[in-house]
Structures are given as C-alpha cells and as structure tokens.
Amino acid sequence: MLFWLTVAAMAAGGFAWLGRAAFRPLPEAAANPDLEVYRAQLEEVGRDEARGVIGAADARAIRADVARRILDSDRAARGRGLAGDGGARLPVLASLLAIGGAFGLYLMLGAPDYPDLPHSARLERSAEIKAARPSQAEAEAAAAARRPAPPPPAADFAALMDKLRAAVAARPGDIEGLRLLARNERTLGNLSAAARAEEKLVAALGDKASANDQAALADILVNAAGGTVTAEAEAAIAAALAKDPANGTARFYAGLLEAQVGRPDLAFRMWNALLADSPAEAPWTGFLRAQLPMLAEAAGTEFRDPALKGPGAADMAAAAGMSAADRAGMIKGMVGGLEERLMAQGGTAAEWAQLVKALGVLDEKDRARAALARAETALAADPAGLASVRAAAQEAGIAP
C-alpha cells in the first residue's frame, strides 16, 4: 500500500507541475511574438519622422498600415489559442499518456501484489530458513522413506561386509577399516550407514583429517539427507574450506547451502567462481552450467560461461602487435585447442556451435563437418542443443 501511495503522490505532483506550466497564460510577447516586430517598426517610424527622413503624411500612412497588421496578427493568434491557455492540450495529453503507459507497463511486468522485501528482510528470512532446517537424523529418515530400498548384494559380498562391520566394531579406531567400510556401505546404497562410518573416520583422524576427508563427510551427509545441506554437513564444509579454500567439493556444497536458504546472490558468486576454476571433467561442471543461468536471473545478474569467453586482455595486447599471418595463426591455435578438448571430452551445445562456426570462418570445412558429426552423436539426447549446433553449421556454410 505504501508503494502505491508513493507512486500516486509522485504522479500527482508531476502532473500538477506540468499542468501549472501548461495552463499559465503566456506573456503577450510570448503569446504573439509578431507584436515586438511591429512595436520596433513604429518606434523606427517615429525616429525617421523626427529626423525629417520621412514626412508627416508618410509617417501616418505607415503607422496605419502597422496598426492594421497588429490587429490581423492578434486575431490570428487568438484563433490558434496562443493568447490564453499556453497550448495546454498537448502537454496535458502527453502527461496522461505517460502516466497511463507507465501504470500499464508495471501491471504487465511488475508484481503489484508482492510485498516490500528490503535487503534486511531477505537476510532475516534466510536466517530463518537456515534455522528451520531439519537435523541430519530427521533429513536422513525423510530421505530414506522416499528412497527405494537398495537391491540385496550377492551372498559372498554380503558375508564379507558382515565380517568388515564386525572387524570395525572391534577396532573402532582402525582408519583403513573405516575408509573401506564407508566406501562399501555407499556402494551398497546404505547411505546412512556410510555417513556414520565417515563420521567415525573423521573423528578417529582428529586434527589429521584432511580437507578431502571433511569434504567426503559433507558429501555423504548431503546425499544421505536427500540433498539437504544440514547443520552437520555445513560444519564439515566449513572444516574442509578452513583447511583448503580451493576444495571443489566443499565449494560446491557451500554454494548449494546458500541456494537452499534463499541467497541466490551468494550461491551464484560461489558457483560461478567454482566453474571458472574447474576442469571440464569435474563431476559438478555439467550441473553448474545447467543451473547458473537460472541462478543468475534470481540473483539479478548475468551468467557468462567461462568456457565460451574470448581471448583475455593479454591475448588481445599480444595480437595487436602481430602481423596478419601471426594473428591468424594465434586464432587457429585457440580454435584448435577448443576442437581438441571437445573431440576428446565433449562439451555443451554452445561450445560445439562455437567450434563449428569458427572452423567455418577459417574455411576448414572438413574439420567443421567432423565436429558437426561428433556433436550430433554427443547431443543426441538434447534436441534443442543439437538444433543450435545445426544452425551454426548452416551459418558457416556447412549443410547438416
């Protein structure tokens, strides 16, 4: 309600200011500027008559003619409405159209029923969401109820697991036994059991637990909780980052936590930086590329895939001093690097489209066709992405 009252007051104030200026009578000179010219002519006639340049009869004739012109000009001005209302219709109409257009545009693009949400309120809401998270035990119980039961293991493997569990129970400080137990429980789909083994492993390691140990604990806790980053997982994430701020697993889950508690701005910042630092084969790379555009929109910013960025400032500076042949060689080298990576590891539809288009520009038609064929295989399950690559191929003059 406060928003609408403020908008109404601003609109009324602006309209009143424009209306006052529009309806204020113009000064006579502004209403009919021809009068100034005629006054000047009359003064000039008086001076000429005084100097004897013209006679009295001629002066009277000239004055009569100027007076007639004044009357004609005044009648014309009144007919145009210039003498009274200052041309009010146009500014008033323009003001009404502007106010109505702005109101309609806000109703179409804005959210008139959405309450005010200042930054402090968003922070408070995020803190409330974080405080209301379920405990690890509650989240695991809820996730286990939704998760289908894992298939039973083979009899011989089940027997070996029983022996391993008994051995670890007998020697709870056995580091290698705990590692083996955590890994195998997870392989069997016993996520809660794997989480308990990982917790015991980190506790047994104490200060010797590495960033990877803490990150592995955070990973199994989140998975056992059905994807929820609980307070227990958050503590493991913080411990991993304290030991190694560059740990990719911990950075990924730190961003996931911020996304879950209503802080897309922080989540985007963390994940965007992680993607820029991550190799193409990192397990989270594909997920981040899929999620970051939507997260950027929620955060009110723009996502630019670091894999698609052009040459850096150093590259541009180096290219500026090159000959045409050397510059062409540099471009071919950059395209060749992209081609080698995509052919070996695959990539996104945007990367394939960029490669096909670049090879077409370089007149490497055969290589472009080979890249297109490889992209069609890699993107068979992504019709929209494949369509963008084929469009790039047509643009490059390569018939798909």
Domain 128-262: which CATH number of 3.90.1300.10, 3.40.50.11540, 1.25.40.10, 3.30.465.10: 1.25.40.10
Mean pLDDT of 255-266: 93
pLDDT at 229: 95
**What are the pLDDT digits (tens) for 88-102?**
556 666 666 776 777
Quote the pTM value.
0.56
pLDDT at 136: 96
Report the range out of 47-51, 81-85, 155-159 with the highest average pLDDT: 155-159
2-11, 341-350, 375-384: least confident range:
2-11
What pLDDT does residue 2 have? 61
Looking at residue 117, its amino acid is: L
- Whether pLDDT at 28 is above 90: no
Highest mean pLDDT among 21-30, 78-87, 233-242, 295-304: 233-242
pLDDT in tens, 272-283: 999 989 887 888
Q: Please say if the pLDDT value at position 82 is more than 50.
A: no
Nearest to 278 by CA among 270, 239, 302: 270
Asked which of 84-98, 205-219, 234-248, 352-366 is least confident by mean pLDDT, the reply is: 84-98
Give residue 205's pLDDT band: very low, low, confident or very high (50, 70, 90): very high
Portion of the chain with pLDDT greater than 70, in percent: 75
- Could you tell me which residue, 144 or 115, shows the higher pLDDT? 144
- Whether residue 179 has pLDDT greater than 60: yes
Q: Is the pLDDT of residue 75 over 80?
A: no
Q: Which of 250, 256, 189, 249 is nearest to 229 (CA)?
A: 256
In which residue ranges of the chain is CATH 1.25.40.10 found? 128-262
- Residue 232: the pLDDT is 97
- Helix H, strand E, coil C: the string for 8-49 is HHHHHHHHHHHHHHHHCCCCHHHHCCHHHHHHHHHHHHHHHH
Q: Above 50 in pLDDT, residue 155?
A: yes
Per-residue pLDDT, 399: 66
pLDDT band at 86 (very low <50, low <70, confident <90, very high): very low
- Cβ pair 268, 278 in contact under 8 A: no
Q: What is the pLDDT of residue 175?
A: 95
Cα 215-220-222 angle, rounded to 5 deg: 95
- Averaged pLDDT of the chain: 81
Tally of helices (H runs) and strands (E runs) in the chain: 20, 0
Please tell me the predicted confidence (pLDDT) of residue 164: 95
**Burial (CB count <10 Å: 0-12, 13-18, 19+), residue 176:** exposed
